[in-house]
Structure formats: structure tokens, C-alpha cells
Amino acid sequence: MNTATVVTFLLYLCALIGFGILFYRYSETLPDYILGGRKLKSGVAALSAGASDMSGWLLLGLPGAVYAAGLNQIWIAIGLSIGAFLNWQYVAARLRTYTEKSGNAITLPDYLEQRFEDRSRVLRIVTATVILIFFALYTASGLVAGAKLFESSFGWGYETALFTGAGVIVVYTFLGGFMAVSWTDFFQGILMFLALITAPILLIFFFENWETLTAGVAGVDPAFLNVYHDMTLIGILSLLAWGLGYFGQPHILARFMAIEDPTKVPKAQMIGIGWMVFALLGAVFVGFTGIAWFADNPLPDPEFVFLVMIGELFNPWLAGILLAAILSAVMSTVDSQLLVCSSALAEDFYKGLFRPSASHHELVWVGRLSVVAVAVVALVIAWNPEAMVLELVAWAWAGFGASFGPVILFSLFWRRMTLQGALAGVVAGAVTVLIWNNLEGGLFNLYEILPGFVLSSLAIYLFSIRTDPPSESITAAFDTIH
């Protein structure tokens, strides 16, 4: 790789570590370390939520899927856009308000325990355990993706690439906590956006007009122009159902909980959805253009279509910045996942179960050490790249969406919901995803998030109406919030 590209990229990694050092002194209490003291600005909340959501999937997975299969993959982008809009519209402000009024809850397990006055701590334990299991695997898949990018870009060995990527992420997350993660994600979101807007604009100049481009695509396979090609109703529903996952993603919901004021949500929503729609369209266009661009020399790995384009289209210095955008897409999700796992260990297990009287200083260091511990576990899982499959990301997304999505929605909008209903919803969603994932053929080709979401919602309703109504204090708190 060109020296200029390497230098540019290494400077970017140093800047990330600089953010960790900069925000170190702003993380003196656990609420500061986990939620930034609820002082997140609208723009930072919007772009950091988008960056932590999209991961490397936006710059690698989606362009690769379009390059390999054509425009029929656009359904997932439509589903994600709708889901993200509804999440900002109906969940963000309510969750921000409810978590602050519910004992200033700083994690989802903490919020659910306060919301239903669970003195047994069972709900906190179950939800925190679900978070740790899914995120340990999710984080490992992100580390593998980052390592493979380092490996292919710089020619490093897999182990060296794995440790380098993980090391940089752990350092700035360990030092700066939520604010470092959010601000790095903010700038990473800008980089991702610029990369996905700049590349399509530049590519347009290499084709005389839209007809020339589509003719080039049709020359490879005319079916690539048809959004309904090889799609069934179940297939379309499965892709659209990705949007349901937004309601239950802890690392995205944490941005809602941390925004400085509920009245700032509409502005953040406008920025976040605008960023998302243009970024998704850019990713689709990159993959679509790649079909014609590489018509005479097809790529062996579709997911590297954008990576190869960068090397061919841009000068080395700009290529280094765009390469940083791709790798930052992976980092922006891994750092958020590490922080959510850290909050589960420090707030929900250590403080919630063992040391209720722990000092702020003690809890912050438990949180920092938890980041390292989870990273080590993820590294162990990621050590063998063959053990990780792309479907793992879809499985983890479905797990969170089905386990937490219905519970969060019902807790914010249904006055009659009970503790037993919440517990049943989390368990039903998680179990359905685990079982459905192993079924094949016919109806069971449906993406597991959809049956998981439906069965979780059903469990919440049935267990709530068949158990004693919530206490007067719970309903009074609900009425006050609304």
C-alpha cells in the first residue's frame, strides 16, 4: 500500500486515542462514564447513533450484497430507514424522560428494574445476562471484520491486525468512556457519510449517463436491475423486518438516554434520519456501480467492492481518509458494544447485586476494567476467524430486537404492563431467536426477528393481563411521565 495512505490512516488512529485522553477527566462518576452525564448534543447523538448502528455493514456488507445480487437488496435499506425513523419518533424522547425519572437509570436493566419496582432483581439479572451474551459474540464479529480489513489493507498477519484494531478501540474507550466513544463515533459518522457521497459522485463521471450505467449492469445480468428478482413475500418481509431491531438495540438506545434534553430530540432525529437515508443510498449506489465497474474483472469477495474502488479511484492521501472511514465503521460499533457490556457489569451486576454502596471512583474503575475484560473474551472468540460467520451479526441484531424491542415499547406506552410481562417478553424473544435460527425450509426461512418480536409481544400481553395489576406507585409514575 502507498506510504501516504498508511501515514494518513495511522494519524487517524492516533487521533482516536487522543479523544480518549481528552475526555478522561470528564468521566469521574459512573453516570459520566456510561452516559456522559446526559449532556450529549443533538448532532453528536444523531451521528454517533447512526455510526454505532451501521458498523462495517454500511460500507462493506450492503455494497457487497448489491454487487453480488443486484437491486433486490434495497429492501433491507428501506426496512432500516423506516425502523430508525419510528425509533426516533416514538421512543427517543419518552425513553430519555422515563430513564431520568426512574431513579436516573443509566442502563436498560436499571431502567426496567426501576420501571416495574422489581425488588427481586431477577429482571435486572436476566436482561443484563442477555446483553452480555449477545454483545460478546457481536463484539467478536466486529473485531474479526476489523482485523480482516487491516490484514487486506496493510498485509499484516491476522493476529497482528486483530490486536492492533482491538488495542486502539480499548484504549480510547477505557480512558474516555461514553463521551470519547460518542465523539469518535460522531467524526466517524462524518467520515462514513463523506465516503459514501464522494465515491458515487466521482463514479458518475466515469459513466456518460444513467443509461450507460444500467446497460453495463444489464450486460452482467439483467436481473440485477429488478428489485423483485428472486424475492418471495417472506424474503421481502424478512429484509423489511430488520427495521424492528432498532427498538431493542442497547447501544443505540443509550444515545437517546444521554441526549441533553428531550426537546432536542426532533433536531437530532432530522440529522440522524437525513444522514441515514443518504448514506444508505450511497452504499447501494456504490454496490450497483461496482457491477458495471468490475464487469470484465469480477471480484472474488463482493464485500470488498468499495475497498477496491477506493484504491482505483482516489489519490493515496484521500484513499487513506476513506480507508479510515471503512475501518471506523467497524470501530464505531465495537466501542459502543464494549461500553454497554461495561455498564452491564459495573452497574447491573457489581453495584446492583454486590456493592450497592460502591463509590463513584470505584465504579468507574470497575467499568474501565470491564471494558478490558469483555475485549479479552471477544479476542478469544475472534482468534479463529473461521469460527465467525456473517450471519452472526444478523442473529445478534435479531436477538436484541426481539428480546428488548417489545419490552421497551410496551413499557413506554402500556400502563397495564407488569413485571411478569416484562420478564416473559425478554425470555420469549431471546428463546425464539435461538430456536428459530436453527430451523430451515419453507416458512422457517423467515428472518427470526419477526417471529421473535411477535411472540415476545404476545408473551408481554398475556402475562401482564393474567397477573396482578401494577401497583399504584408504578401507574402514578407512568401517568406523571405521560
Looking at residue 301, the DSSP 8-state letter turns out to be: S
**Over residues 347-356, mean pLDDT:** 78
Q: Is residue 326 part of a domain?
A: yes
Mean pLDDT of the chain: 83
Among 191-200, 333-342, 419-428, top mean pLDDT goes to: 419-428
Q: Which residue has the higher pLDDT, 230 or 148?
A: 230
316 lies in some domain: yes
Q: Is 132 a domain residue?
A: yes
Cα 133 to Cα 18, 180, 337, 378, 481, distances in angstroms: 31, 24, 11, 11, 32
Residue 23, all three cell numbers: 475526555
List, in order, residues 6 or more apart from 170 with CB less than 8 Å away: 338, 371, 372, 375
Confidence grade of residue 265 (pLDDT, cut at 50, 70, 90): very high
What is the chain's percent helix, strand, coil content, to nearest 5?
85, 0, 15
pLDDT of res. 162: 79
Contact 109, 127 (CB under 8 A): yes
Q: What is the pLDDT of residue 7?
A: 76
CA dist., res. 333 & res. 381, Å (int): 17
8 A C-beta contact, residue 336 and residue 104: no
Higher-pLDDT residue of 168 and 98 is: 98
What are the pLDDT digits (tens) for 407-439? 999 999 999 999 999 999 999 999 998 888 677
The proportion of the chain whose per-residue pLDDT surpasses 90, expressed as a percent, equals 25
Mean pLDDT of 184-200: 80
> Would you give the DSSP letter of residue 229?
T
Report the number of distinct structural domains present in the chain. Answer: 1
* Residue 361 lies inside a defined structural domain of this protein: yes
Q: Which amino acid is at 357?
A: S
Question: Shortest CA distance to 171 belongs to which of 335, 324, 344?
Answer: 335
Burial of 188 (C-beta count, 10 Å sphere; 0-12/13-18/19+): buried
Q: What is the per-residue pLDDT for 132?
A: 84
Q: How far apart are CA 397 and CA 401, in angstroms?
A: 6
Residue 360 CB neighbour total at 10 angstroms: 13
Q: What is the CATH number of the domain that holds 286?
A: 1.20.1730.10
More confident residue, 194 or 414: 414
319 falls within a domain = yes
Rounded CA-CA distance 230/213 in Å is: 22
Domain range for residue 56?
Answer: 3-390
Tell me whether residue 377 is in a domain.
yes
Whether residue 446 is contained in a domain is answered as no
Q: How far apart are CA 29 and CA 117, in angstroms?
A: 24
Q: Rounded distance, CA 424 to CA 254, Å?
A: 23
Phi, psi of 186 (to 5 degrees): -60, -50
How far apart (Å, rounded) are the C-alpha atoms in residues 41 and 46? Answer: 9
pLDDT at residue 444 is higher than 70: no
Confidence tier at 144 by pLDDT (50, 70, 90): confident
The Cα 425–Cα 419 span in angstroms is 10
Do 101 and 480 contact (CB within 8 A), yes or no? yes
The set of cell numbers assigned to 428 is 420469549
Compute the average pLDDT of residues 313-334.
71
User: Could you tell me if residue 80 is inside a domain?
Assistant: yes
Phi, psi for residue 417 in degrees, rounded to 5: -65, 140
